[in-house]
């Protein structure tokens, strides 16, 4: 069994293969597959009579397209530098594939809830898809680019902090690495009218809240085929 120190050393070695600066931008490769062709190939395994419905839903908004185009993003990421640290990916870790569900112990959990596209791959592919979905959803809801960037940084910081905590745990006999799901905490009771805004500050390491901008914000389309 590996120790936390072993895992830390493996992570440092992976940075030499793919330094963090290598993930800072994306440029299409010279032999990038045509996105429409990727979707057409994927459509060969789907019910043909439902393809027009799927494509119509994807055309509704940028977020709807991102949601339905996991294969396109996977093809793009495959041509980019990666650490070689392979995990069982969600394969489609966008915002709307996270949600609430009940555990066998009747606890309410918040986690990934869609695994239709799961496959082995570099861990950063899931992180990048989540970050991209946060950016696109923020723009679609009327946020400025600086606000969208703040939301993305909050999301990846929360991921980093959680992984740092998990990496320090030992190996349990059950193979769960000593971790167990955390039940959702009750939402604080609403304040009485006229008592002013909440003053409770977030705990250490908490992500900053991403507030809506003025105007008429829109929710990312729920109707895109995933």
Residue 32 maps to a domain: no
For 119, list phi and psi in degrees, rounded to 5: -165, 160
Residue 53 maps to a domain: yes
How many CA atoms within 13 Å lie on the side-chain side of 187?
Answer: 3
What is the count of structural domains for the chain?
A: 1
Q: What is the pLDDT of residues 146-203, one digit of tens each?
A: 999 999 999 999 999 998 888 887 666 544 444 444 444 444 444 444 444 333 333 3
Beta-carbon contacts of 63 under 8 Å, excluding residues fewer than 6 positions away, are 133, 136, 137, 140, 220, 221, 224
Note down the domain range covering 49. 10-23+38-167
Q: How many residues does the chain have?
A: 226
Residue 163 maps to a domain: yes
Residue 82 maps to a domain: yes
93, 89, 78, 162: which is closest to 123 by C-alpha?
A: 89
Residue 176 maps to a domain: no
Q: What is the pLDDT of residues 51-95, one digit of tens each?
A: 999 999 999 999 999 999 999 999 999 988 899 899 999 999 999
Residue 212 maps to a domain: no
* DSSP for 140-209, written as a single string: HTT--HHHHHHHHHHHHHHHHHHHHHHHTS---TTSSTT----PPPPPPPPPPTTS-S--PPP-TTPPPP
Q: What is the pLDDT of residue 140?
A: 95
Other Cβ atoms less than 10 A from the Cβ of 29: the count is 12
Residue 158 maps to a domain: yes
Cα 23–Cα 70–Cα 93 angle in degrees, nearest 5: 70
Residue 99 maps to a domain: yes
- Dist CA 80 CA 156 (whole Å): 19
pTM of the model: 0.72
Residue 212 has pLDDT above 60, yes or no: no
Other Cβ atoms less than 10 A from the Cβ of 73: the count is 20
- Dist CA 217 CA 225 (whole Å): 22
Is 51 exposed, middle or buried (CB count within 10 Å of its CB: 0-12, 13-18, 19+)? middle
């Amino acid at each position: 069994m590996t120790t936390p120190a072993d895992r830390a050393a493996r992570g440092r070695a992976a940075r030499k293969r793919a330094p963090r600066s290598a993930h800072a931008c994306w440029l299409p490769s010279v032999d990038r597959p045509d996105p429409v062709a990727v979707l057409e190939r994927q459509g060969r395994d789907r019910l043909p009579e439902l393809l027009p419905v799927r494509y119509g839903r994807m055309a509704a908004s940028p977020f709807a397209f991102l949601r339905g185009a996991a294969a396109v993003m996977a093809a793009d990421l495959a041509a980019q530098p990666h650490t070689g640290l392979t995990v069982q990916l969600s394969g489609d870790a966008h915002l709307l594939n996270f949600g609430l569900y009940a555990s066998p112990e009747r606890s309410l959990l918040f986690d990934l809830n869609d695994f239709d596209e799961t496959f082995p791959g570099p861990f950063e592919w899931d992180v990048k898809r989540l970050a991209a979905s946060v950016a696109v959803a923020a723009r679609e809801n009327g946020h400025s680019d600086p606000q969208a960037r703040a939301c993305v940084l909050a999301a990846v910081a929360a991921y980093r902090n959680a992984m740092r905590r998990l990496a320090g745990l030992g190996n349990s006999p059950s193979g769960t690495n000593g971790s167990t799901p955390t039940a959702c905490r009750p939402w604080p009771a609403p304040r009485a009218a006229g008592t002013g805004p909440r003053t409770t500050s977030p705990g250490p390491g908490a992500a900053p809240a991403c507030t809506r901008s003025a105007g008429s914000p829109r929710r990312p389309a729920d109707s895109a085929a995933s």
